[in-house]
Amino acid sequence: MDFKKLSGSLLFRIVVAIILGIIASFIFHGSGWGVAISRIFVTFNGLFGNFLGFFIPVLIFALIAPAIASLGRGAGKWLGITTAIAYVSTIISGFIAYGIALSLYGWLLAGNSTAKVDDIDAGALQPYFEIKMPAPMDVMTALLLAFTVGVAMTAVKSDTLFRGTQDLQRVIMHVISGFIIPLLPLYIFGMFLSLGMNGNLINTLSAFGKVLLLAVIMTWIILVGQYIIAGLIAGKNPFTSLKNMLPAYATALGTSSSAATIPITYGCAKKNGVTDAVAGFVIPLCATIHLSGSIQKIALFAFAIVWMDGMDLPPTMAIGFILMLGIFMIAAPGVPGGAIMAAVGLLQSMLGFDDDQVALMIAAYIAIDSFGTACNVTGDGAIAMVVNKFARGDIKRTAELAESSPLDYQAEAAASVSKDS
């Protein structure tokens, strides 16, 4: 085993941070010096959480605006059609997660609740200081602005502004991969340290352990459903087609990166009879916009927190959350943990999650990030089969997309991050 490579993995660092946070919480609990040290990490978490609140609206605009603008460029109508298929596949996965939550959480999570920092003795873990970081706009304003600017760029063919949004997207991707992702383990450590100080951490971990296992099982159920549908449309055996995609599944499981798995996914899709042109177009595109496994995990975890904390979530709000989350998944950066970072704004604005709940979401998501990624890339093969059935004569060259769509920046950034992840 390459320990150097393992120690550089984001998942490895997150797991270590969780373990150390739990151990430290038992050591520090009940002692004055322990509380004093813990307050340092609470201070950091407050600052980091405030920065996320400031940064998320900027992230939303920077990712979604050029993604929408690209639909009017590139590979013609099939770019829009493939994006629509990816979106429908993604939100169906989200609705399945909602149905599972309604059906199973009543008994699966009965008697469980998440631990809260506020449950500790009043004033015990207050930060030493706070710095307010007001966001330049709220999440919905950022989303509406991104849609408006993106559609306008498509209509007027503003190449200068389009290239500017591409550059902004690259800058934001660099902030995510070079600043936010490296600091996540410290953020997670502080969160588990804080949760452990109130003595209810075991209850939270046991409840989320059930949800983690459920999420892993659901990824395979989703894949079987996707390939049954694709097999019916393409006239192929769905289970043979799914079997042909197993190398891509295994590669994604090991790398946690859709972009790093593109060459393997491309080869597997060709085994299913997909032409070179269609595979070369659909696979790189879907590596950044098709996140059926990611939305399923986020939805299952979010609804679990809502259930355990007794939060109010009317069906109309849950449906709206899934529909909006599907859009955020299409524009999510293709780096390990990128999907959950893109979803933070929705979790806060639509579900009312606080910093502790967001941190718990991030930890749970990254804990099984590779399973969601494997589901994403394997599902890309099913979309390729469908597009191949109808568009093999229209899609000639991969370069039609690569030369004009900003989505390749996400793939490049993901591939560079995956070298260390």
Domain residue spans of the chain: 3-419
**CA gap 188, 294 in Å, rounded:** 20
Amino acid identity of residue 266, one-letter, is Y
**Cα 419 from Cα 404, distance rounded (Å):** 26
Indicate if the pLDDT at residue 121 is higher than 50. no
Query: Which pLDDT score is estimated for 419?
Result: 38
Res. 402: pLDDT tops 70: no
Mean pLDDT of 257-283: 82
pLDDT at 28: 81
* pLDDT tier, 94 (very low <50, low <70, confident <90, very high otherwise): very high
Predicted confidence (pLDDT) at residue 175 exceeds the cutoff of 80: yes
pLDDT higher for 285 or 125?
285
Q: Which one has a higher pLDDT value, 398 or 151?
A: 151
Mean pLDDT is lowest, of 26-30, 64-68, 145-149, 363-367, for 64-68
Q: Based on the number of CB atoms within 10 Å of its own CB, is 134 exposed (0-12), middle (13-18) or buried (19 or more)?
A: exposed
Residue 100 confidence (pLDDT): 92
Residue 344 to residue 350: CA distance in whole angstroms: 10
Residue 211: pLDDT above 70?
Answer: yes
Q: Which of 175, 208, 183, 196 lies closest to 49, judged by CA?
A: 183
Residue 107 has what pLDDT?
A: 83
Task: Report pLDDT for 117.
Answer: 41
Half-sphere exposure of 308 (CA within 13 A, CB side): 25
**Triad 209, 215, 220: Cα angle to 5°:** 140
Q: Is the model's pLDDT at 234 over the cut of 80?
A: yes
The band of 10, judged by pLDDT with boundaries at 50, 70 and 90, is low
Q: Which of 163-172, 191-200, 385-394 has the highest mean pLDDT?
A: 163-172
Is the pLDDT reported for residue 264 higher than 70?
A: yes
**CATH number for the domain whose boundaries are 3-419:** 1.10.3860
Of the pLDDT bands very low, low, confident and very high (cuts 50, 70, 90), residue 238 is very high
8 A C-beta contact, residue 347 and residue 304: no
Looking at residue 357, its pLDDT comes to 84
Confidence band, pLDDT 50/70/90 cuts, at residue 336: low
Asked if pLDDT for residue 203 goes beyond 80, the answer is: no
The pLDDT of residue 343: 86
Burial class (CB in 10 A: 0-12, 13-18, 19+), 407: buried
**Which whole number is the average pLDDT over 128-138?**
84
Torsion region of 314: left, alpha or beta (phi above 0 gives left; psi -120 to 50 gives alpha): beta
CA 330/CA 410 separation, integer angstroms: 11
Can you tell me the distance from the alpha carbon of 296 to that of 162, in angstroms, rounded to the nearest whole number?
A: 32
Measured distance CA(350)–CA(395) in Å, rounded: 39
Phi, psi of 139, rounded to the nearest 5 degrees: -65, -45
* pLDDT of amino acid 70: 66
Name, of 115-129, 210-224, 356-370, 386-400, the range with top average pLDDT: 210-224
Confidence of residue 410 (pLDDT cuts 50, 70, 90): very low
pLDDT of residue 406: 39
What mean pLDDT is predicted for residues 273-293? 82
Q: Which of 1, 161, 160, 131 is nearest to 65 (CA)?
A: 161
pLDDT score at 257: 67
Q: Which pLDDT does position 41 carry in this prediction?
A: 87
Joined together, the tokens standing for residue 99 give: 């149905």
Mean pLDDT, rounded, for 157-165: 82
2: pLDDT strictly greater than 60: no
Helix locations, 71-180, DSSP H: 77-108, 139-156, 159-175
HSE on the CB side for 99, CA within 13 Å? 7
If one compares 247 and 188, the residue with the highest pLDDT of the two is 247
364 DSSP assignment: H
Q: How confident is the model at residue 199 (pLDDT cuts 50, 70, 90)?
A: low
Q: What is the DSSP code string of 376-400? A: HHHHHHHHHHHHHHHHTTT---THH
Residue 312, CB half-sphere, CA atoms under 13 Å: how many?
A: 0
Q: What does pLDDT average to over the chain?
A: 78
Of 157, 139, 167, 175, give the one whose Cα is nearest residue 70: 157
